Structure formats: structure tokens, C-alpha cells
Amino acid sequence: MEPAWVKKLDGDLRKRVQRADMPAGSDLMKATLTHEPFADPDWLYERKLDGERILAIKDRDRVRLLTRNDKDAGDTYPELIDALGQQQTERFAVDGEVVAFEGSLTSFSRLQQRMQVNDAEQARASRIAVFFYLFDILNLDGFAVTALPLRQRKQLLREALQFEDPLRLLPHRNRDGKALLREACEKGWEGLIAKDANARYQHTRSRKWLKFKCTRGQEMVIGGFTDPKGSREGFGALLLGYYEGERLRYAGKVGTGFDDRMLQDLRERMNALRREESPFADEVPEEGIHFIDPELVGEVGFTEWTRDGRLRHPRFLGLRRDKKPQDVVREDT
């Protein structure tokens, strides 16, 4: 029997909704970086959050949280499992971002302290409060809704769930994209996401979603490290790279943004990945270097790319577990 919301859809939209199992993995839609802000009544605009992308799936009594590379995040965010499990709607799959705040701004560095916890009891005792901002829905009541226009999906999302902390509905604007980007940058936001309001949900990177950044930064693959100097422990700097096809291109090193605990934890992880040969396609002009298998991904902020393809003034923000190393490419061209 069809639920009431399906029966309310007009003929064309109703044909786009099909019965389907809940998603088996988190093959999520991703935005394309651009530098040309615009205002268009057929697009809507959302705040770009600095957190961890999560697909949440509730299938009656079972709730799952999946990162972008299909890792289970339920023990990291047990309060989100509770909040989603208490929803009256029994079956849904929703897309959103988990964030932690530093004042009024989302902080990936602060969230990092929760992302490294994989024990539900420890996570509940953490002083790092997290919030789950939802912005899209993929399945509702056993029906795939990805073929519906974005505006219709957002309406279904609003009606399907009750939004009380730690669950929040990500607000959007329907116009004034240029003005909103200026406002976002003045407030210190990470940036803005523009979305084609009439587009379906695509399980890939798409130009139907565009991202504008107020500050430069992106994921980087960690391919090695340098020896620590002076009284510093752990390591001196991380060797960074990005993929160009199947080649890992060297993008420079980062030696700032670490506290003592992170230096020790990262060194332990990297020790388990040590290798003799360089994973980079380019020469690494550094001293005291050690290479590792390129399995770790970090978030790095920087001021610009140099002419020879290196990061200028990079700073390490934290490890990412929701990104496959092979998916890390140079975004800012």
C-alpha cells in the first residue's frame, strides 16, 4: 500500500518514485568546486559546513550511520543513533553533516576529538557536543526519492522527521547567492553550497551542486613524514600529495596544527604503514624522510598553490576517515 505522501504527488512526480531497498552504502552526491558565484531563482543556497558527511539509515528498529567510505560511525555518535531511532517515521535514508562548534563556527579540529572515539560509552561521556545537519533524503518508507527534484525532496525531509537537537534541518535560501556568499565569508563560514533546485540526486560528483570556499583548504593524502627536531616528539612534518590519475603527486609538507597527543597518535599509525619506496610520482626534496603506504587522508588549510604545485603556508586540521585516498584530487586549479 502506498503511503499518503506518494498519493499526494502529481502524475509526473509520482512516476519518479519507486519501491526500493534502503541504500547498502554511502554513495553520496558531491559538489564541484567553482569560483564564479551567481544568483539564480532555479538554484538554492546552503551554508557549507566543516564536518563529517554522514548517510543515516533507519530501517525500523535498526539505525546506521555511514561515512563517505562506508565506515560505521554509530559508536562515535551514539546520541545521533538515539535521536534517529526515536523518530516516528520507521524507514528513511537521509544525507547530512555532523559538526561540532567553536563559538558560532563549525570546527573540524574540534570535531576531530569525537571522530577518533570508537566506543559508544566514551563518546557519550565526551564534552564535545555534536549536531547532525540534514539537507537531503534518499529513501522514505521504502520508496527511492532520488529521482524527485531537490525542492520536493527537501519538503519530504521536513515532513518526515522531527528536528530537535542534536538533529537540525539545514536552512537554505532561494535567491541572492552572491550576497549570501559575501555574508558567509564575513561571518567566517567555510563557504557556500549552491544546488540546482530541479535536479535529481546523483550518486557522484556533479555540477548540479557547486561549492564556493571562503578559505582555501582540501583533503590531502599522507605519504610520509620527516624526523622531529629539537624537543618535538612524533614527527616533524607530514608529506602530502593528491592523485592525478593513478599517480600520487607531491604537494609539499605540513608541520603546524598538531598538539602533542596528535603527534604521538599519528606517529603510531604511520609506523604501522612504513615502506621503503616513495609512494609519490615526484621527487621529495626533503631531509630525514620516511615513507608510508598512502592510506591516511588529512584535511589541510592553506593560502594558495605555488607555481610549482606546492601548498603555501599549510596547516593541518585533522584526519579524515570519510574520504578514500584515491578520491583525493587537486580541487583548486
In whole angstroms, how far apart are CA 4 and each of 95, 159, 219? 23, 12, 43
Q: According to CATH, where is 2.40.50.140 located in the chain?
A: 217-327
Q: According to CATH, where is 3.30.470.30 located in the chain?
A: 31-212
* Enzyme catalytic residues: 48
Query: Above 90 in pLDDT, residue 39?
Result: no
Mean pLDDT (the chain) is 93
SS3 130: coil
Task: Establish whether the linkage from the previous residue to 166 is cis, with ω within 30° of 0.
Answer: yes
Check residue 154 and give its pLDDT: 98
For every residue of 5-56, DSSP letters joined together read HHHHS-HHHHHH-EE-PPPSS----EEEE-S-----TTEEEEEEP-SEEEEE
Check residue 137 and give its pLDDT: 98
Query: Above 90 in pLDDT, residue 256?
Result: yes
What CATH architecture is 31-212?
2-Layer Sandwich (3.30)
Q: What is the mean pLDDT of residues 32-61?
A: 92
Check residue 322 and give its pLDDT: 84
Please provide residue 227's backbone torsions phi and psi, each rounded to the nearest 5 degrees: -65, 145
Residue matched to cell numbers 518508507: 141
Q: What is the mean pLDDT of residues 269-278?
A: 97
Query: Above 80 in pLDDT, residue 333?
Result: no
CATH superfamily of 217-327: Nucleic acid-binding proteins (2.40.50.140)
Check residue 141 and give its pLDDT: 97
- Angle of CA points 33, 179, 193, to nearest 5°: 30
Q: Which helix (H) or strand (E) holds 316?
A: strand 315-320
